[in-house]
Structure 1
Amino acid sequence: MNVDEQVSSYYDLLLKRNAGEPEFHQAVAEVLDSLKIVLEKDSHYGDYGLIQRLCEPERQLIFRVPWVDDNGDVQINRGFRVQFNSALGPYKGGLRFHPSVNLGIIKFLGFEQIFKNSLTGLPIGGGKGGSDFDPKGKSDAEVMRFCQSFMTELSRHIGEYRDVPAGDIGVGAREIGYLFGQYRRLVNQHESGVLTGKGLTWGGSLVRTEATGYGLVYLTQEMMAAHGESFSGSKVTVSGSGNVAIYAIEKAQELGATVIGFSDSSGWVECPDGVDVELLKEVKEVRRGRVADYVSEAEGATLHTDGSIWDKPCDVALPCATQNELDGEHAEHLFNNGCRFVAEGANMPSTADAIEVFREKGVHFAPGKAANAGGVATSALEMQQNATRDSWSFEYTDQRLHKIMSNIFRHTADAAAEYGREGDYVVGANIAGFKKVADAMLAQGVI
């Protein structure tokens, strides 16, 4: 059986065993496509069922989450935790609270997390979790009661040496606080290493809030430098206006870029003279408002409720909203309007068609598993501080983050070149992340 047939047989089996999970299928297909050239050159990675084991979670948890709303009515949500691979260390990955969450979404995110965490160079495995609970429109008391119920079950399966969750979409400082409080109550000890993204006064790390957005820009900066360009004087568009987008905007503008657009689910904002970051933080982080609230107060900003932010001419595009938000048609528009660099701040925001357009047109593209690894990298740094009962300065932690992101780009670029795909950062990230995990799995036996 040749490599193409071998990989096709793996994928066909995966489709049969994981029906109705298109995002998971998409994530696995992209990685397997990259691994064909690895299996051709280093056939031992096909031994001992390695690929099949890599694609099968070590553990999948689904549980009921009952809670009482402010009217006294009982509500039922579903909770998930997929502990995907622990060859490199304890499972590490965020919790997502959003109505779109289902098992397939969590498996796709957990699978991506394996390679992302591997690329950081830190001893952390891959996992992901969440619930179809929607925090939007809920009171603080309702969010607290939901989080307490969710953690009552999750607490049985996590720990600083077993599984360390963090935040993701819908899970910010408020939710992490409620989750940690309930965990501490249940286990009767202050085990600060069990969650990351904590408040600064009770075990949190400086830079954690900024980490994913800053890290995205640091890696994009490395990619641009490799091709003789920089953020200085560039025009940048950013989809989303959550945590990742806000701090990507902030760092890009610090480096001399003008961010000319950002968005949320209600539309996109055109900002010809750049984004007022402090106002955006006030609107989104303090008031929990919408982009329309920003436009009502920001001089020169315009709200568009039709079309796409990807129609706006730019030099650099940073998709930071959600999966599959940027398709092949959008990718064509970006190229035709002069975009030369795309880096993913969200998890898998570009469809396979979009990535193919970027390849064909020569648009330099950094996938999320490399470009948005700054969040989990800084979470791992938070784990180090918790383990040693230490606290690092903002400057020192930011330097560590910057170095990690620079190393990720270097390892990604080197892996692509080693396998004859120089400049293909999708292939490079998949291979570099895979080989470290695969070597650990082979060394540890069939488990």
Structure 2
Amino acid sequence: MFERLLIANRGEIAVRVIRACRELGISPIAVYSAADADSLHVELADDAVCIGPAAAKASYLHIPNVIGAAVKSGAQAIHPGYGFLSEDPYFAEICAENGIVFIGPPPDVMESAGDKAITRRVMIEAGLPVLPGTSEAVASLDEALTIGGRIGYPVVVKAAAGGGGRGIAVARDPHQLRTAYLETRRNAQAIFGDGRVYLERFLDGPRHIEVQILADDYGNVIHLGERDCSVQRRHQKLIEEGPSPALTADRRAEIGTAAVRAAEAIGYRGAGTVEFLLEDDGQFWFMEMNGRIQVEHPVTEAISGVDLVAAQIRIAVGEPLALTQEMVSLTGHAIECRINAEDPGRDFAPTPGVLTAYRPPDGPGIRVDSHCRPDARISPHYDSMIAKLIAWGPDRDTALRRMRRALDEMRLDGPGLRTTIDFHRGVLDDPVFCRGEAHTDFLTRRRPA
């Protein structure tokens, strides 16, 4: 096992990794920007290194500073969390060059999984159901228009290097495709440094299903069930639950097997997810693969009993998986609400500021992952998440009741602060959601009060 591990991240995921390190007997090392000097993850770590000013590009995304902190502190491994450098194959290569273990897939696998066009080709060859579209970057607007006419509208234009709901635009006719193609290319270059885009048939209002997988260095790959992530805004998830209320037992087995096949085809190692779109008739389509721990991983931990962060670290050390597929047992139902400092009434605009009061809920089946406390600052420089609230129950109805109770208990106050608590309460009271019938267009069709 590693003796010292550096967490190249901040916020609740840094706290989460520190806790896993403690349980594994590893000394955790934090990095922080000038804006995060008094953060909880800095306080909980054994050592902490300042890696730059508030701007992420000068701190959490600044590879020389992160590597320098790891070398200076004697870290044998780096856990990237999610976001920031977690899916950067160049960063993984630099780690290896400095004798540091990157906790995640190998750089070549990460590069393939992160390139949506390459992944499409691999999955088609592996026999997974893939929506009609292109497996190569679309070189020109004229080519995009020709392809759009061939595969049929609506189409979605996606950044090849995209992720996290960014770099996506939907076009319902050739006129919209002109705008979507040009804007997505421009945005992809600005956000990801890679302007390549590809086209795919767009499904109106499917469900978004992701399957959690674990893979070790010895060819063992298992899945730990699925999460339904259909409640979204701007293609970004707000509420996740598992198991999905939309899947029958047979379809659940099929989609789990497909996810394992996808991971094997791309040579995956570590913890990751295979993402699918599910239609009402039960047909599912491969969408993409994420080569990192997910924000919503506690949902799977709650129903499987598997510590996914600890599993990541054990795989990186070189241990084989402790579970076979036959040993996986999923119990009950779990749901996660992302509590963000955002104003749902203003299209989820961030509302950064200082928390003058912070009271997390507690009680049976409730888990809160957070980096906040009274007087914590929600910085405008980073993600607006305050906490992840997870409720587990022996069945879906119990989990929902517990989540409603937890949302009612939670207290967050601060000057000008708006949160998504009331929004989540509105979703959980909506009859469509209560029946387990929410699709990705839920907020468009059923905007909660």
TM-score with structure 2 setting the length: 0.32
TM-score with structure 1 setting the length: 0.32
Q: Greater strand percent: which structure?
A: 2
Q: Greater helix percent: which structure?
A: 1
